[in-house]
């Protein structure tokens, strides 16, 4: 694996490295960690990489790695830069035959996302968009149960993502994470909706197996002088006629990262929240709620495949992240060995999720500005 971005001070770069590293299947051997050649070099040293494989730019990395013999070169790149620096490196990597792992949201805007999709389709390479939350085993279990039809047709979906860390004007101080996320030139047209709203959106579509067809959004900039939305709530209509509510906020003072989803069908439903990630509540109209737990013997193959420890040994965010990397790597490896990836391995977020996420961003911001109630989710 070669990494693009993720130099000193980056939060998500470190997370990607731990996740990739966890299962011993993936090795970081190259990197262009910063657009500043010196910083990239320094990061490479700290990561104890071979200095020859630490590059001054992603372009150099892709060019030089392409020139190496196939069995020496990196198999894929992992791109962990801010949103405005997603499209170009991903495009270049795909065009040069490298599989791609990309942090979400997919691109700076929907236009780019659709172009990248085209490129990826032609390339037949693997592409993973790291929507962490669908990597949790109990989220996969939730999807399996919902898709099995055991709850009848789905009627209502609530998904929420409250954070509080942007309750003050943090970008006014020297806070790198806050700075780029609230800057339209790096983040795109959306703040909270792009940063965490897309996670909520992806989670809702993944677990329900449905697609949002219309939305009606209240999008707010709550903290004075902020340039992008830090709060929003969205009424949803899904393609089976059901409805839902999505909210995502970064000004809920006192909240950490409290992702939660509830899906209800005719006879029951599910509830999952990240704070208690190893638990899935399964609810029934006329029976006791059941507490399904990660690591037990009664789970679906999709859940079981994505746990490393027995029940009662909690796994968390890094393991969920690592599941995407592991499944992606298993697919890459299988293909390199001329084998067919298993369905459980193929279950990581990809191009379709990415394009839909970008469409969500564009349409939710548009709806926020509209006086009409419903806006179609157009791609």
Q: Which residues within the stretch 159-178 sit at the binding site for a second copy (CB under 8 A)?
A: 160, 162-165, 167-168
CA atoms within 13 A on the CB side of 75: 18
Residue listed under structure tokens 């965010």: 317
Which is closer to a second copy, CB of 57 or CB of 213? 213
| Residues within window 37-96 making contact with a second copy, judged by CB under 8 A | 47-48
| Residues within window 343-372 making contact with a second copy, judged by CB under 8 A | 370-372
Q: Does 226 bind a second copy (CB under 8 A)?
A: no
In 3D space, the residue among 37, 27, 39 whose CA is nearest the CA of residue 3 turns out to be 27
Q: Does 147 bind a second copy (CB under 8 A)?
A: no
DSSP string, 55-79: -SSHHHHHHHHHHS-TTTS-SEEEE
Q: Does 333 bind a second copy (CB under 8 A)?
A: no
Return the residue of 2, 82, 197, 295 that touches a second copy, per CB under 8 A: 295
Least distance between a second copy and beta carbon 351 (Å): 26
**22 with 315: CB under 8 angstroms?**
no
Instruction: Please provide residue 249's backbone torsions phi and psi, each rounded to the nearest 5 degrees.
Output: -145, 150
Rounded to a whole number, what is the distance in angstroms from the first to the last CA of the chain? 32
Helix (H) or strand (E) holding 342: none
Return the residue of 118, 149, 211, 284 that touches a second copy, per CB under 8 A: 284
| Residues within window 306-325 making contact with a second copy, judged by CB under 8 A | 308-319
Return the residue of 60, 149, 336, 374 that touches a second copy, per CB under 8 A: 374
Instruction: Please provide residue 321's backbone torsions phi and psi, each rounded to the nearest 5 degrees.
Output: -60, -45
Least distance between a second copy and beta carbon 76 (Å): 18
| Interface stretch with a second copy, choices 56-64, 96-104, 197-205, 304-312 (CB under 8 A) | 304-312
Binding mask 5-24 for a second copy (x = CB under 8 A): ------x--xx-xx--xxxx
Give the Cα separation of 32 and 373 in Å (integer).
45
Give the Cα separation of 335 and 61 in Å (integer).
23
Return the residue of 57, 66, 96, 220 that touches a second copy, per CB under 8 A: 220
Binding mask 97-136 for a second copy (x = CB under 8 A): ----------------------------------------
Which is closer to a second copy, CB of 301 or CB of 309? 309
Return the residue of 218, 221, 334, 341 that touches a second copy, per CB under 8 A: 218
Least distance between a second copy and beta carbon 206 (Å): 19
Three-state SS at 213: strand
Binding mask 238-277 for a second copy (x = CB under 8 A): -----xxx-x-x-xxxxxxxx---x-xxxxxx----xxxx
Give the Cα separation of 204 and 240 in Å (integer).
14
Give Cα separations from 288 to 78, 104, 294, 296, 314 (angstroms). 44, 38, 19, 19, 24
Which is closer to a second copy, CB of 87 or CB of 161? 161
Interface size with a second copy, residues (CB under 8 A): 89
Give the Cα separation of 231 and 325 in Å (integer).
30
To 10 degrees, what angle do helices 87-95 and 58-67 make? 10
Which is closer to a second copy, CB of 96 or CB of 168? 168
Which is closer to a second copy, CB of 79 or CB of 251? 251
Which is closer to a second copy, CB of 291 or CB of 336? 291
Which is closer to a second copy, CB of 120 or CB of 294? 294
Which is closer to a second copy, CB of 37 or CB of 311? 311
Burial code (b: 16+ CB inside 10 Å, e: under 16) for 296-327 equals eeebbebbbbbbeeeeeeebebebbbbbbbbb
Q: Which two tokens stand for residue 62?
A: 């892709």
Which is closer to a second copy, CB of 247 or CB of 328? 247
Helix (H) or strand (E) holding 31: strand 30-32
Which is closer to a second copy, CB of 62 or CB of 170? 170
């Amino acid at each position: 694996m070669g990494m693009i971005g993720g130099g000193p001070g980056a939060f998500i770069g470190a997370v990607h490295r731990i996740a990739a590293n966890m299962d011993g299947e993936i090795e970081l051997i190259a990197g262009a960690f910063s657009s500043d050649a010196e910083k990239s070099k320094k990061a490479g040293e700290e990561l104890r990489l071979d200095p020859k494989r630490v590059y001054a730019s992603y372009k150099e990395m892709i060019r030089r790695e392409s020139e190496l013999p196939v069995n020496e070169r990196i198999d894929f790149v992992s791109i962990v830069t801010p949103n405005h620096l997603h499209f170009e490196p991903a495009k270049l990597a795909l065009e040069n035959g490298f599989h791609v792992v990309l942090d979400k949201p997919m691109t700076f805007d929907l236009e780019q996302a659709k172009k990248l999709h085209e490129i990826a389709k032609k390339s037949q390479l693997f592409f993973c968009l790291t929507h962490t939350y669908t990597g949790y085993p109990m989220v996969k279990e939730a999807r399996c149960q919902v898709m099995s039809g055991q709850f009848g047709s789905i009627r209502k979906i609530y998904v929420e993502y409250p954070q509080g860390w942007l309750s003050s004007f943090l970008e006014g101080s020297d806070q790198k994470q806050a700075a780029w996320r609230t800057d339209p030139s790096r983040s795109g047209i959306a703040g909270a909706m792009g940063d965490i709203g897309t996670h909520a959106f992806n989670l809702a579509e993944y677990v329900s197996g449905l697609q949002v067809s219309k939305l009606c959004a209240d999008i707010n900039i709550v903290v004075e002088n902020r340039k992008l939305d830090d709060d929003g709530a969205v009424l949803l209509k899904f393609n089976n006629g059901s409805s839902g509510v999505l909210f995502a906020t970064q000004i809920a003072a006192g909240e950490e990262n409290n992702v939660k989803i509830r899906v209800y069908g005719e006879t029951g439903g599910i509830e999952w929240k990240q704070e208690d990630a190893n638990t899935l509540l399964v609810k029934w109209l006329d029976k006791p709620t059941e507490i399904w737990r990660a690591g037990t013997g009664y789970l679906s193959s999709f859940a079981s495949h994505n746990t490393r420890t027995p029940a009662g040994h909690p796994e968390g965010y890094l393991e969920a992240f690592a599941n995407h990397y592991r499944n992606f790597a298993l697919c890459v490896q299988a293909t390199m060995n001329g084998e067919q990836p298993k369905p459980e391995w193929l279950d990581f977020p990809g191009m379709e999720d990415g394009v839909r996420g970008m469409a969500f961003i564009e349409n939710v911001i548009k709806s926020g500005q509209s006086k009409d109630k419903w806006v179609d989710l157009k791609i």
